[in-house]
Amino acid sequence: MIVAGVGCRRGTSAEEVERVVLKALDAFDVMRARLDAIATETGKTTEPGIAEAARRLSVDLIACETSELERAADAVLTLSTLVLEAKGVPSIAEASAIVAAGRNARLLGARVATAGATCAIAIGEGR
């Protein structure tokens, strides 16, 4: 299972979310057709830009509880002070990707970013 974990500022457009996902896929040489899902922290699933980007990319949107993200914190590669202060986890994008990719999940690399969003790609055996 290949998952794009996404974090973004409130009100980020679907175009921006889609752009960061495609940028991350390209950075790790993953074909768009291989993407199975977009994952994010539960509170972010109500962001219209994330939901619309998942629809446009024809993938599932997976919600990850903060407690799940906390358990994945040791596996993330980057630290966002802002996210750590707001959510208590070092990275929404990387932790969400790991959680949603499931068993034996691993990041393909550190998250990539645009002005309003971040994306990390993880591969695993699914939940």
Domains and CATH numbers, the chain: 2-123 (3.30.420.180)
Q: How far apart are alpha carbons 87 and 98 in whole angstroms?
A: 17
Say yes or no to pLDDT of 82 above 90: no
Residues near 74 by beta carbon (within 8 Å), at least 6 away in sequence: none
DSSP state of 35: -
- pTM score: 0.94
Q: Are 34 and 26 in contact (CB under 8 A)?
A: no
Percent of the chain with pLDDT over 70: 100
* Beta-bridge partners for 63: 40
3-state secondary structure of 116: coil
pLDDT digits (tens, 9 = 90+) for 22-38: 999 999 999 999 999 99
Q: What is the SS3 assignment for 54-115? A: HHHCCCEEEEECHHHHHHCHHHCCCCCHHHHHHHCCCCHHHHHHHHHHECCCEECCCCEECC
